Amino acid sequence: MSKSGKITGGVASSERRAARKAFWLFLAVAILCTAQVGWWLIIHMRDAQALAELKQAELRSEAYLLDEMLRSHYIGLWYTLDSAIHREDWDGTLPRSVKVNPAYKGSGNRPPVSRRSESYFGTIDVKQWTWAFPDVVPLLFVELDFTYPERIISRNSTNLRFAGHAPSPGLSPWSAKWRAVEIDPIALDEIDAEYQRVFVMFASESAFFVILIVMGVYLMYRSVRQSSDLRRQQQNFIAAVTHELKTPVSSVKLYAETMERTEISRPDQEKYLRRMQEDITRLEQLIDDILQVGRLEQKSSRLNLKPTDFSRDVTEYVDTMQGYLERNNFTLHTNIEPGLLAVTEYDAMRRVVACLVENSVKYSDSRHEAELTLRSDDDKIELSLKDYGVGVPAEEIEKVFQAFYRVGDEMTRKIGGTGLGLYLVREIVASHGGSVELRSEGTGQGTTVTIRLQKGQKS
């Protein structure tokens, strides 16, 4: 409560505070759930990365073991040859163990038996995979099986391959920096591709869950917000209807008491009776509007559509409202194209025109005039009402067609109304197969409402 004793905030402020609290609560839940999904993604990606590294380590281990196997076979072949050619009784015949060595393919020319003390191997012919011994046995050439490394590697692993260099004779077939077996790049690419697939899969799932969380939170918040808006609209509607009912009832009561207690002239009696009838008509119209909303919501309202001269009907609608316009010092300029036919229900369209004119009068601001135009537009009939009143903010244009919705707060609004006018206009026009469009440049810029109906045919 303020210092002046007035209540601040009210129902609308309470509803807005509740909606804000709900928003922050749902936002916190969304952040928590998103963090949980992010943590889940990080854990799984770490596992996927560890699995990829483990597969690479396994391939490196397999490559190392096969490399050692190949080295041992070529070292064993060299030991056998070295032992044979350095024997004093060597007759030039290669040992049988050389011939059964899988790395051996064949032999060269058989040299004469001789004894050499040097233990020296010559160079190799990489293309021929041949070991030559010119300084020990000049005519001895040992041919190696160049397909052997690939065969032994393929039998043990499909993800490894031979590095391509022929082995050298001696205890080091390949240098320490050189490996005979290497991992096939295709295998490494497959591991990387598998990691990428896992990453995309988990990232997609995480994104999907995050989207679901955000959508769920948004739907929950929107539900709370709609519930809050509905409660506020209910409060606004009760306040508006109470005011709309109380004003004519009080007026009728005042005129009745005046006529009962005082001696008044016949002209004054007629004036008071006319005002009382107008107030009663206003009450009837309000009740009819509320009942019409109920019928429209239940889809139980059926219009009795008939071909009619719509130009004549609109002229009659305007004529019946002249008294209302005069009492409110309002000028309605009309430009009605004659002879336009349409299929309508007379009373329903009368209510549409009345709602538009009443809104122009209520929200006329300082310029008390409006322009009503009826014209032909190809196969359509266009009814337009342009005023110079308070206008409608851009963000409110779609909302003003909702039932019971009014711009502002009913507790502080000075202009009467229930928020049913434009809702009835939209629903009645839609039941005629037409459309409604509202345009406004903003607050204080006036409003233009345009109704389009299908043009009727001459009978």
pLDDT at position 319 over 70: yes
> Is the pLDDT assigned to residue 1 strictly greater than 80?
no
Final residue before a domain boundary, out of 189, 216, 240: 189
User: Would you say residue 93 has pLDDT above 70?
Assistant: yes
Reported as a pLDDT band with limits 50, 70 and 90, residue 115 is very low
Residues 314 and 176 in one domain: no
- Would you say residue 126 has pLDDT above 60? no
More confident residue, 22 or 70: 70
> Which whole number is the average pLDDT over 311-315?
92
**pLDDT score recorded for residue 3:** 40
Helix/strand/coil for 176:
coil
pLDDT, one tens digit per residue, over 389-422 is 888 887 777 777 776 666 654 433 555 566 677 8
Cross-strand bridge partners of residue 162: 181
| Strand intervals (E) in 197-322 | 306-309
**Of 430, 446, 23, whose CA–CA distance to 221 is shortest?**
23
Give the mean pLDDT of 73-84.
87
Question: For residue 379, what pLDDT is reported?
Answer: 84
Query: Which residues lie below 8 Å from residue 227, measured CB to CB, with a gap of 6+?
Result: none
DSSP structure class, residue 400: G
**For residue 73, how many other CB atoms are within 10 A of its CB?**
19
Domain boundary among 160, 189, 218: 189
pLDDT over 70 percentage in the chain? 78
Residue 253's contacts (CB-CB under 8 Å, 6 or more residues apart) are none
Containing structural domain, residue 26: 13-189
- Residue 452 pLDDT more than 70? yes
Measured CA to CA in angstroms, residue 323 lies from 274, 305, 351 at distances of: 11, 28, 16
Is the pLDDT at 216 greater than 80, yes or no?
no
The single residue listed with the structure tokens 């204080």 is 444
The percent of residues in the chain predicted with pLDDT above 90, rounded, is 12
Per-residue pLDDT band for 203 (boundaries 50, 70, 90) equals confident
Considering the domain architecture, whether residues 313 and 185 belong to the same structural domain is answered as no
**Alpha-carbon distance values, 419 to 86, 247, 355, 406, 424 (Å):** 116, 17, 11, 5, 9
Q: Which residues neighbour 254 within 8 Å (Cβ) at sequence distance 6 or greater?
A: none
- Average pLDDT in the chain: 78
Angle at 308 between CA 305 and CA 311, to 5 degrees: 130
Q: Which residue has the higher pLDDT, 66 or 255?
A: 66
**Closest-CA residue to 372 (of 359, 380, 362):** 359
Tell whether 38 and 181 lie within a shared domain: yes
Task: Tell me whether residue 362 is in a domain.
Answer: yes
Domain contains 363? yes
Average pLDDT of the residues in 140-161: 87
* DSSP conformational letter for 259: H
pLDDT for the residue numbered 405: 65
What pLDDT band is residue 315 in, cutting at 50, 70 and 90? very high
15, pLDDT greater than 80? no
Same domain, 162 and 37: yes
149 contacts 180 by C-beta, under 8 angstroms: yes
Listed as own residue / partner, the contacts of 285-288 with beta carbons closer than 8 Å and 24 or more positions apart are: 286/241, 286/244, 286/245, 286/418
What integer pLDDT is reported at residue 139 of this predicted model? 62
CB atoms within 10 A of CB 11: 16
Dihedral (CA of 431, 437, 443, 446) sign:
negative
78 and 171 in contact (C-beta within 8 Å)? yes
Report yes or no: 373 and 451 within 8 Å, Cβ to Cβ: no
Q: What is the mean pLDDT of residues 228-249?
A: 71
Q: Which residues of 138-157 are buried (b: 16+ CB within 10 A; e: fewer)?
A: eebbbebebebbeebbeeeb
Among residues 173, 456, 128, 117, which one has the least CA distance to residue 309? 456
Rounded Cα–Cα distance for residues 111 and 124 (Å): 18
Domain boundary among 173, 189, 205: 189
Residues 253-294 pLDDT 10s: 887 877 777 677 778 777 778 778 777 877 777 777 666 666
Residue type, 149: P
Q: Is the pLDDT of residue 424 over 50?
A: yes
Q: State whether residue 130 is helix, strand or coil.
A: strand
What pLDDT does 210 receive?
80
Q: Is residue 295, in this structure, part of any structural domain at all?
A: no
Domains contained in the chain, number: 2
The CATH number of the domain where 422 resides is what? 3.30.565.10
pLDDT of residue 61: 93
pLDDT at 312 over 90: yes
Contact 142, 81 (CB under 8 A): yes
- CB neighbour class for 111 (10 Å; exposed up to 12, middle 13-18, buried from 19): middle
First to last CA, the chain: 68
**Which of residues 59 and 218 earns the better pLDDT score?**
59
Report pLDDT for 301: 60
Q: Which two tokens stand for residue 168?
A: 């050298």
Which of residues 333 and 347 earns the better pLDDT score? 333
pLDDT score, position 135:
62
Q: Is residue 213 part of a domain?
A: no
Which carries the bigger pLDDT value, residue 391 or residue 61?
Answer: 61
For residue 404, give the amino acid letter: F
User: Does 1 or 238 have the greater pLDDT score?
Assistant: 238
Q: Are strands 369-377 and 331-336 parallel, antiparallel or unpaired?
A: parallel
Mean pLDDT of 145-149: 88
Give the span between the Cα atoms of 272 and 264, in whole angstroms: 10
pTM above 0.75, yes or no: no
Report, as an integer, the average pLDDT of 60-68: 92
